[in-house]
Amino acid sequence: MSSGEHENLALSMLLVFGGAKIAGEIFERLRMPAIVGEIVAGMILGPAVLGWVQWNSTLHALAELGVMFLLFRVGLEVKSSELISVGGRALWVAILGVVLPFAAGYGIAAWWGEATLTSTFVAAAMVATSVGITAQVLAAKGLLQTTSARIILAAAVVDDILGLLVLAVVSSFAKGDVNVAGLVTTTLLAVGFTLFFTFWGTAAMQRILPKVSASLRTGEVQFNFALVFLFVLAVGAAYAGVAAIVGAFLAGMALSESINHRVHDLVHGVTELLVPFFLAGIGVQMDISIFRDSSALTLAIIISVAAVLSKMVGCGLAARTLGKRAAMQVGIGMVPRGEVGMVVAQIGMTMGVVPAHIYGVVVFMAIITTVIAPPLLAIAFKGEAGGPAEERFQLG
């Protein structure tokens, strides 16, 4: 790498990290969630406003690492037994949180006059949930131990598997080749991988980690082992057919009852460095060209409203027996689409079934649902006391 490339990398990291932290501080002082400020910083620095930062492979890699470490850190604060205890309800939250958004997305796009395959990809993008945003808000407020938070996290894992299957089916239809055997295999691998580490990951690490700690001498032994395990499960998750961040979350959860506080502190430091690239990266990808076409803008607004309401209603209904407040918390927690919705639209565009204006509509929806979720969560959880993790996760 040349000195010029080093300078460009350093400058990009300075602008994104520094800009995100400054904006986060400003938003905190305005009594708004800091992470909204970090996303807005990306919008200002990116092509939408100043054009100082361009979305490229380096920022993409840093953003991927950021959300991976975020979910790993969240996993470290969650016990597998707590997640299993809400598994049944979380399953229904995930199912209704897939069915309603899919129906809404397809219905609106078809009513607007879009082709069947295009409408199907819009529907698939509506299904996805980007739990990283919700996890960051709940972690910062020390609310990961609440029942609502546990349901959201468990439902997000199930949602990822269901979203993967929806995308696989939709992509198969776009290619004109539906491979039932392949879909069944992918489903079994994804479910098997997730269930194995949810039910037996913690017990395995309680046996393995003490032996590793006693045998190795170089550096931060537990931290190094935790990182290796994180990347092993992230890779394993990707091969099993679920998102790498699900593997990261499962890795953290498996280690949650074995590692010492030193590892928590080190992971927190790495996460504080990388998460701003994930958050600001969402803003950098904002495409304002959609505002030039009133028809596309109108569709984007309709789709965004439907994206919010369909998740809130679908997921909220599944959690209604917990009470109105908890149902609202769960529904709002599943609202953000983030980078997941953008990826679905990008796949459709690459396959030639999602035109540019629809891609812009989906990106708009993904970013808007991501931006509005933190303040809505702050309102939904207002007055609830944070747990022991609050100090460790406090931002700013």
What one-character-per-residue DSSP string does 51-86 give? ------HHHHHHHHHHHHHHHHHHHHT--HHHHHHT
Q: Is 272 exposed, middle or buried (0-12, 13-18, 19+ CB in 10 A)?
A: middle
Q: What is the pLDDT of residues 313-368, one digit of tens each?
A: 999 898 888 888 889 999 998 888 766 677 777 777 777 777 878 888 888 888 88
Q: Tell me how many helices (H) and strands (E) the chain has.
A: 18, 0
Residue 334 · residue 317 · CB < 8 Å: no
Q: What is the pLDDT of residues 100-139, one digit of tens each?
A: 999 999 999 999 988 888 888 888 888 878 777 788 778 7
Q: What is the pLDDT of residues 274-295, one digit of tens each?
A: 989 988 888 887 767 766 778 8
- The model carries a pTM of 0.77
Domain 55-393 architecture: Up-down Bundle (1.20)
Radius of gyration, CA atoms only, the chain = 20
Take residue 282 and report the two structure tokens written for it.
């969402």
> Would you state the pLDDT for residue 176?
65
- Domain boundaries in the chain? 55-393
What average pLDDT values come out for the chain (396 residues) when binned by 10 residues?
Answer: 62 91 89 81 88 87 89 83 80 89 92 87 84 78 83 83 75 66 75 84 88 80 91 89 81 88 90 90 77 82 93 90 88 81 73 79 84 85 61 41
